[in-house]
């Protein structure tokens, strides 16, 4: 851990303790600290503003939405996703974070495995040698001295065994801890999926709103009425199938 992050952690610790003790002293209902909600998507304004040709915008939006929609369906980091994602620097950083984290976890795991195996191997070697010595002792005559020596060696081996098994235990624990990447990367993946889905939703909404009047007849009834353009609902089109239908009906 770096010096700065250790200092930051102590600050956080102090902040928590301070607020917690304030609460303990004045236990009335705390003001609700609203976690910043996701910014409400601004209503899409048709591109009828400025000099831009509304139909050109409509075309471009339609084709972008199609690309994104297919990419979502393919569920892969292929060209399409990469293009959509490259315009979102935050998402790119998050994906890099995932790659780094999983890479580190793999390395950490393999290190622990190697070290653990080394300990196991040396224990095995020592035990095998000792067992062989005892075999020889039981199958032939040995002097009292040799017997005593073997006894000593065996005592030493047994005395040192707990420490070595603890070493292996520690490596196993390390392997387990290295799996924490799954939780962090999993959360990040979910977050990215949400971002991408939100983007698609906004594009679809924009597409519907910017559909020129002469093309509106192509839109199936379900997209002009009902929940899709209801501004009070947060889900625009609820299924990938609906998005497919929408895009097809507009010729994309």
Considering beta carbons, is residue 94 or 205 the nearer one to other proteins?
94
9 near other proteins, rule: CB under 8 A:
yes
Considering beta carbons, is residue 127 or 176 the nearer one to other proteins?
176
Taking CB under 8 A as the binding criterion, the range among 14-22, 40-48, 86-94, 222-230 that sits at the site for other proteins is 14-22
SS3 for 83? helix
- Closest approach, Cβ 45 to other proteins, in A, equals 32
179 near other proteins, rule: CB under 8 A:
yes
Q: What is the DSSP code string of 49-101?
A: SSSS-HHHHHHHHHHHHHHHHHHHHHTS-SHHHHHHHHT-HHHHHHHHHHHHH
176 near other proteins, rule: CB under 8 A:
yes
Considering beta carbons, is residue 35 or 75 the nearer one to other proteins?
35
Query: In this structure, which long-range contacts are made by residues 66-74, counting pairs with CB atoms below 8 Å and at least 24 apart in sequence?
Result: 66/247, 66/252, 68/196, 68/199, 68/200, 68/203, 69/200, 69/240, 69/243, 69/244, 69/247, 71/196, 72/196, 72/197, 72/200, 72/240, 73/240
Q: Which listed residue (25, 33, 139, 251) binds other proteins by CB under 8 A?
A: 33
Q: Which listed residue (30, 103, 151, 162) binds other proteins by CB under 8 A?
A: 30
Q: Tell me which residues in 133-152 interact with other proteins (CB under 8 A).
A: none
Q: What six digits make up the tokens of 112? A: 């622990």
Considering beta carbons, is residue 122 or 179 the nearer one to other proteins?
179
Closest CA to 91 of 165, 183, 197: 197
184 near other proteins, rule: CB under 8 A:
yes
20 near other proteins, rule: CB under 8 A:
yes
- Closest approach, Cβ 85 to other proteins, in A, equals 22
189 near other proteins, rule: CB under 8 A:
no
CA–CA dist 246, 208 (Å, integer): 9
CA–CA dist 162, 140 (Å, integer): 31
* Residues of this chain that bind other proteins (CB under 8 A): 8-9, 12, 15-20, 22-23, 30-31, 33, 35-36, 173, 176-177, 179-180, 182-184, 186-187
């Amino acid at each position: 851990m770096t010096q700065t992050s250790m200092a930051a952690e102590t600050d956080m610790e102090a902040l928590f303790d301070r607020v917690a003790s304030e609460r303990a002293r004045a236990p009335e209902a705390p003001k609700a600290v609203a976690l910043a909600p996701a910014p409400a998507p601004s209503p899409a304004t048709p591109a009828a503003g400025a000099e831009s040709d509304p139909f050109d915008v409509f075309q471009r939006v339609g084709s972008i939405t199609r690309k994104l929609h297919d990419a979502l369906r393919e569920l892969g980091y292929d060209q399409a996703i990469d293009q959509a994602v490259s315009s979102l620097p935050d998402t790119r950083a998050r994906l890099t974070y995932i790659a780094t984290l999983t890479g580190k976890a793999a390395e950490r795991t393999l290190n622990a495995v190697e070290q653990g195996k080394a300990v196991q191997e040396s224990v095995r070697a020592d035990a095998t040698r000792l067992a062989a010595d005892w075999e020889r002792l039981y199958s032939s005559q040995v002097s009292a001295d040799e017997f005593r020596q073997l006894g000593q060696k065996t005592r030493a081996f047994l005395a040192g065994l707990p420490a070595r098994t603890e070493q292996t235990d520690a490596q196993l624990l390390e392997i387990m801890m290295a799996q924490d990447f799954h939780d962090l990367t999993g959360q990040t993946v979910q977050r990215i999926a949400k971002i991408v889905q939100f983007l698609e939703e906004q594009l679809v909404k924009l597409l519907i709103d910017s559909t020129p009047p002469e093309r509106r007849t192509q839109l199936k009834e379900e997209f002009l009425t009902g929940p899709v353009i209801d501004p009070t609902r947060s889900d625009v089109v609820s299924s990938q199938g609906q998005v497919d239908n929408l895009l097809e009906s507009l010729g994309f």
